[in-house]
Amino acid sequence: MNLDANQASIREVIDAGLLAGAVTLVWRGGEVLQVNELGHRDVHAGLPMRRDTVFRIASMTKPVTVAAAMALVEEGKLTLSDPVSTWLPELADARVLADPAGPLDRTDPMRRPITFDDLMTHRSGLAYAFSVGAPLGRAYGRLMFRQDQDRWLAELAALPLAHQPGERLTYSHSTDVLGIALSRIEGKPLSDVLAARIFEPLGMTDTGFAVTPEGRRRAATMYKIDAATNELRDDVMGPANVTLPTFCTGGAGLWSTVDDYLTFARMLLGFGEVDGVRVLTEDSVRAMRGDRLTDEQKRQPFLGMPYWRGRGFGLNLSVVTDPAQSRQLYGPGGLGSFNWPGAYGTWWLADPSSDLILFYLIQNMPDLSTDTAAAIAGNTSLLKLQGAQPKFVRTTYRELGLL
């Protein structure tokens, strides 16, 4: 078996100047079969990608925050059906937009309270600026993370919900709100909650809301493709922070490495246990990896895509429910495969049917405007970049004899 062929699509976009670099990893049956260190973590400084490169993992933060929440469920500190207003009174009297595209002052009362299950499945009625239309989307765009979590939550709670709690899935700040709840329940910053519940037991020493001074030297630079020239720009985000931010966001704020997150993914694949360390019960992980969407909710598009074709959604993990249908749009992955990616190009998949975990980590700032799909469709360079990761996955499955 030789997996080297899975590098081809990645090297092609690096050589074309569309990608600075990538780290990929293939783990199967308790063994790391391959690590690719391709290109540079900083092009201008000539610093190569390395296995220990530190990445902003964006929404890959979400399953980690949910896992910490499930640890509190196991201790009886909350249940999935609990109203979140017990700990987040700011949301007790939230209002719901009467018309999703209508004015913010035309609202209805909630039919029932927002629950922790709603937060963990993005069915709370909260949103992101890019997941709903105007005028609500514009109002979300004015929220600022550079303040403490209580002030941010107060501003968020002043906005109407996009829909009734539990009605549908709208990608949202729900996991950021969940992180605030965990902080209040435990009486400590979310960074300490995640460290105690997840990072320290699993030995994830390179994962957190800030990096060490040594970790900053290993951090990957964030790049963005200039739409006019198709050239990479590196002036889109500052250096890695070595001090904790004012607001540690449970939905998108973590830094990590491929080996740290591999340990977390192996824990989920092992139903709460890895290398003799148990951080969650089997029931908790089954809840995370189990499909919780109704048939009607799966028929609704997700960020404009038919994302739930052959898939379901657990507690912030997508899960393959029909491999044949899922493969048509999203590539290989056996029954029960689960993942949740990050907006900056960080992606992983755990496939229990093949005892397989894959990672593809890059640092590219996405375009989250409403015209993103049209812009990509009309740009062959962006299409080539977007296709590198699916080709890596398909080639890996093929070379392993799984296709």
Residue 368 is predicted with a pLDDT of: 67
Provide the pLDDT for residue 378: 52
C-alpha pair distances (Å), 282 with each of 70, 271, 287, 289, 319: 11, 5, 9, 10, 17
Q: Tell me the domains of the chain and their CATH numbers.
A: 4-62+205-399 (3.40.710.10), 72-186 (no CATH)
pLDDT of residue 1: 74
pLDDT of 258 reads: 98
The pLDDT, as a whole number, for residue 374 is 45
Question: What does the pLDDT read at residue 379?
Answer: 65
CA distances from 235 to 26, 138, 232, 365 (A): 31, 25, 9, 11
Give the Cα separation of 211 and 203 in Å (integer).
Answer: 15
Hey, what amino acid is at 29?
A: G
Single-letter amino acid, residue 352: P
pLDDT at 376: 45
Q: Residue 366: which pLDDT band, with cuts at 50, 70 and 90?
A: confident
* Contacts of residue 294, Cβ cutoff 8 Å, sequence gap at least 6: none
Burial of residue 295 (number of CB atoms within 10 Å: 0-12, 13-18, 19+):
exposed
Average of per-residue pLDDT across 276-304? 96
Asked if residue 304 has pLDDT above 90, the reply is no
* Mean pLDDT over each residue of the chain, to the nearest integer: 95
- pLDDT for the residue 226: 87
User: What pLDDT is stored for residue 375 in this prediction?
Assistant: 47
* CA–CA dist 14, 7 (Å, integer): 11
pLDDT of 305 higher than 50 = yes
3-state secondary structure the chain: CCCHHHHHHHHHHHHCCCCCEEEEEEEECCEEEEEEEEEEEECCCCEECCCCCEEECHHHHHHHHHHHHHHHHHCCCCCCCCEHHHCCHHHCCCEEECCCCCCCCCEEECCCCCEHHHHHHCCCCCCCCCCCCCCHHHHHHCCCCCCCHHHHHHHHHCCCECCCCCCCCCCCCHHHHHHHHHHHHHCCCHHHHHHHHHHHHHCCCCCECCCCHHHHHHECCCEEECCCCCCEECCCCCCCCCCCCCCCCCCCCCEECHHHHHHHHHHHHCCCEECCEECCCHHHHHHHHCCCCCHHHHHCCECCECCCCCEEECCCCEEECCHHHHHHHHCCCCCCCEECCCCCCCEEEEECCCCEEEEEECCECCCCCCCHHHHHHCCHHHHHHHHHHHHHHHHHHHHCCCC
Average pLDDT score over residue span 32-59: 98
In tens, the pLDDT along 131-166 reads: 999 999 999 999 998 899 999 999 999 999 999 999
Does 173 score more than 90 pLDDT? yes
